[in-house]
Amino acid sequence: MGKKTRAIKFTDRKAEKPWLKRTGESSYEIGTRTMNKTILIVCEGQSEELYFKSFPVVSCKVSAYGLGQSKESLVDATIELKKMEKYDEVWCVFDMDIQLGKKEISSFDNAIDKALKNKIKVAYSNDSFELWFCLHYEYLEQQNRRDYYFDFLSKKWEINYINDGKRYDFCKSSYQRLNTTGNQTLAIQRASKLWEINKHLPYSQQNPVTLVYKLVNLLNENIRA
């Protein structure tokens, strides 16, 4: 049987951990629907956090946080959050930045291993989370660095993505923008194809790959019709 939601004030709980001081649209979670699942999504940054918060889910409770941490430190923080409340699924969202060199490669691989050992699912991307955005418009199977994806989105959206694409208001609109100008169904198909091609490789060598589509599929199962 699903769980009934009620108004829950977060003031006390947010005081316990510094990364919980950021709030969403309200300091309350209010609802009367039957919740089938509770999902925790912990992200590196604001772009990912606001994107996932924009999904119009109605049959699950989603808590998404952008902590400003990366790789192993993000997984460590997720493990701590996981201890604070019972969740049906816990996801960690981060990407690879190959231009940072060997240390980044090791951190990326170790973070995924640590997450999986702690029963945390990982929606990782290599080289960049923005690959997921680009797949809404084209199938890209060549290896690219994030600068390519930033330039791609700058041209597609007629902005300077580095300067404007990371701003709060723009990040908050990314879900609607992608659904209006791109094709999420094709993005899922394209991302799934990339995964099938690269999944036999070590994590850091899976390029291009984004497992964001798996988390998107989960959220889509619970969105408003």
User: What is the pTM assigned to this prediction?
Assistant: 0.84
131 secondary structure, DSSP code: H
Burial 6-35 (b: 16+ CB within 10 A, else e): eeeebeeeeeeeebbeeeeeeeeeeeeeeb
CB 74 within 8 Å of CB 111: yes
Domains of the chain: which residue ranges? 3-220
Bridge partners (DSSP) of residue 91 are 41, 121
> Among residues 58, 7, 14, which one has the least CA distance to residue 37?
58
Six token digits for residue 162: 């580095």
pLDDT of residue 158: 95
- Residue 71 or residue 19, greater confidence: 71
Which residue has tokens 């923080």? Answer: 77
pLDDT single digits (tens) 100-131: 667 789 999 999 999 999 999 999 999 999 99
Residues 163 and 195: their CA atoms lie apart, in Å, by: 30
Q: What is the pLDDT of residues 139-180, one digit of tens each?
A: 999 999 999 999 999 999 999 999 999 899 999 999 999 999
Q: How confident is the model at residue 21 (pLDDT cuts 50, 70, 90)?
A: very low
Residue 217 has a pLDDT of 97
Buried b / exposed e over 183-197, threshold 16 CB at 10 Å, is: ebeebbebbeebbee
Q: What does the chain come to in residues?
A: 225
Residue 30: band (very low, low, confident or very high) from pLDDT cuts 50, 70, 90? very low
Cα 185 → chain centroid: 17
Burial of 214 (0-12, 13-18, 19+ CB in 10 A): middle
Tokens of 204: 């850091």
Question: For residue 11, what pLDDT band results from cuts at 50, 70 and 90?
Answer: very low
5 pLDDT more than 60:
no
Contact 188, 213 (CB under 8 A): yes
Q: pLDDT at position 26, please?
A: 33
How many Cβ atoms are within 10 Å of 221's Cβ, its own excluded?
A: 12
* Beta-sheet pairing, 60-66 with 28-29: unpaired
Q: Average pLDDT of the chain?
A: 86
